[in-house]
C-alpha cells in the first residue's frame, strides 16, 4: 500500500517531459531516475519513521514470512498476534526418563524438584540419604553372612584356657573345616554352646558360648588319675596345660555323636569332667587364629595328631619295660 503513494508524482513528471519535446527513450530514462530518487527518499523517510516508532514503542515491525515477502506490522495498521509464551525451563532433576513423549517435567508449577525434607511427600528425613542406608544395610548383611557361614571373632572372658588364652584375648573361629573337610578331632580348640542346664541360658544380648579343647572323640575311653589324663589306656603328655589335674575322673566311654572337652587350666575349668560329653551339633567352629593382643598375633598350634600326645609316654613305658630284670627260666 505504501509503495503506491509515489506513483502519481512519477506519472505527472513523465507527462511534462513528453510535452517538452524530449524523445520517448530519454523521457523513460529521466523518468526512471527521477522515480527511483523520489521513491528512495520516501523509503528512507518510512524507514526513519519506523525506527522512531520502534524506539518509542508505538510502531510495528516488518516481519518476513516463509516466502520472503514482508508482513505488515502494527505501524501499518495491521493487527499483530501476541508473542507466544516461552517454554518453561526444565531442570535436570525434574526429567522423567520413563515418560516417553511427554515433557519430562515434574508436577511442580515452578519446574523445580520439591525439597526432600521432613515435610516432603515421601516422608524421608533430609539429613538421611537413602543411598547411605542401602550401603549400610548391604554391609551389615554381608558381615552377618560371613559370620554365620565362614568365620566369626570371639574374645576370652575367663582363665579356663590359660596359658593358651588369657582374659581379653581375641581370636577367630572358622566354620568351614568341620563342614567340608573333616569332623572334630582330638587337640582342636573349639567354641560351642553348652547343653541346656550348663551355665546360663543364651539370649540375644548375652551369647552363652564356651571355649575348650577336645581331648577325646566318640568311642574313646577317658579317665583322670594320678594327675594324668588317660585316653584309651594311654596317659597323655600335654605341654599346653597350666598344671596337672588334681581331681580324679572315673573311666567312661564317649558316646556316638559326642566329644569330650576340657580346659587347658584343668583345675579352673568348667568342662566335661563336671557335666559330661558334649554333643557335636553344639559346636560352632574351630579356633584357628589369635589377633589380639598384637604380640600374640598368629595361628594356634595344631595338636590334632594324637601321636604328639602319646609318643613320649609310649617311649617312656618301653624304656621302663626293658629296664626291668628278666625272670629266671622255670626249671
Residues 308, 328: Cα–Cα separation, whole Å: 37
308 noted as active-site residue? no
Residues 189, 192: Cα–Cα separation, whole Å: 10
Name the catalytic one among 175, 212, 269, 290: 212
Q: E strands, the chain, where?
A: 63-64, 70-71, 151-155, 170-174, 189-192, 210-216, 221-225, 228-231, 234-235, 249-253, 258-262, 278-279, 283-292, 298-299
β-bridge partners, 235: 230
Does 194 sit behind a cis peptide bond, omega within 30 degrees of 0 on the bond before it?
A: no
CB 247 within 8 A of CB 172: no
CB 189 within 8 A of CB 284: no
CB 257 within 8 A of CB 283: no
Name the catalytic one among 56, 131, 160, 331: 160
160 noted as active-site residue? yes
Look up residue 62 and give its three cell numbers.
Answer: 516488518
Look up residue 264 and give its three cell numbers.
Answer: 587347658
* Catalytically active residues, by annotation: 160, 212
Amino acid at each position: 500500500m505504501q509503495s503506491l503513494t509515489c506513483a502519481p508524482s512519477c506519472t505527472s513528471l513523465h507527462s511534462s517531459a513528453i510535452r517538452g519535446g524530449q524523445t520517448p527513450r530519454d523521457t523513460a530514462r529521466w523518468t526512471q531516475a527521477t522515480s527511483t530518487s523520489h521513491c528512495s527518499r520516501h523509503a528512507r523517510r518510512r524507514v526513519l519513521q519506523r525506527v522512531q516508532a520502534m524506539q518509542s514503542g508505538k510502531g510495528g515491525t516488518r516481519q518476513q514470512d516463509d516466502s520472503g515477502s514482508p508482513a505488515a506490522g502494527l505501524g501499518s495498521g495491521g493487527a499483530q498476534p501476541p508473542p507466544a509464551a516461552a517454554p518453561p525451563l526444565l531442570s535436570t532433576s525434574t526429567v522423567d526418563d520413563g515418560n516417553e513423549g511427554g515433557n519430562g517435567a515434574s508436577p511442580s508449577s515452578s519446574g523445580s524438584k520439591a525439597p526432600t525434607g521432613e515435610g516432603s511427600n515421601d516422608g524421608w528425613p533430609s539429613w538421611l540419604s537413602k543411598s547411605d542406608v542401602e550401603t549400610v544395610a548391604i554391609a551389615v548383611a554381608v558381615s552377618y553372612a560371613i559370620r554365620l557361614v565362614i568365620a566369626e571373632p570371639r574374645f576370652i572372658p575367663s582363665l579356663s584356657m590359660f596359658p593358651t588364652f588369657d582374659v581379653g584375648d581375641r581370636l577367630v573361629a572358622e566354620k568351614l573345616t568341620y563342614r567340608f573337610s573333616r569332623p572334630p578331632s582330638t587337640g582342636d580348640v573349639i567354641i560351642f554352646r553348652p547343653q541346656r542346664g550348663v551355665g546360663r541360658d543364651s539370649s540375644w544380648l548375652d551369647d552363652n558360648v564356651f571355649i575348650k579343647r577336645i581331648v577325646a572323640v566318640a568311642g574313646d575311653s577317658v579317665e583322670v588319675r594320678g594327675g594324668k589324663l588317660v585316653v584309651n589306656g594311654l596317659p597323655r603328655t600335654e605341654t599346653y596345660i597350666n598344671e596337672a589335674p588334681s581331681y580324679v575322673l572315673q573311666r567312661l566311654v564317649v558316646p556316638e555323636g559326642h566329644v569330650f572337652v576340657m580346659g587347658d587350666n584343668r583345675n579352673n575349668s568348667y568342662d566335661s569332667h563336671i557335666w559330661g560329653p558334649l554333643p557335636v551339633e553344639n559346636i560352632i567352629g574351630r579356633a584357628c587364629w589369635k589377633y589380639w593382643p598384637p604380640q600374640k598375633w598368629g595361628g594356634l598350634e595344631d595338636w590334632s595328631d594324637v601321636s604328639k600326645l602319646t609318643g613320649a609316654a609310649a617311649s617312656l613305658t618301653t624304656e621302663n619295660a626293658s629296664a626291668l630284670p628278666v625272670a629266671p627260666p622255670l626249671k
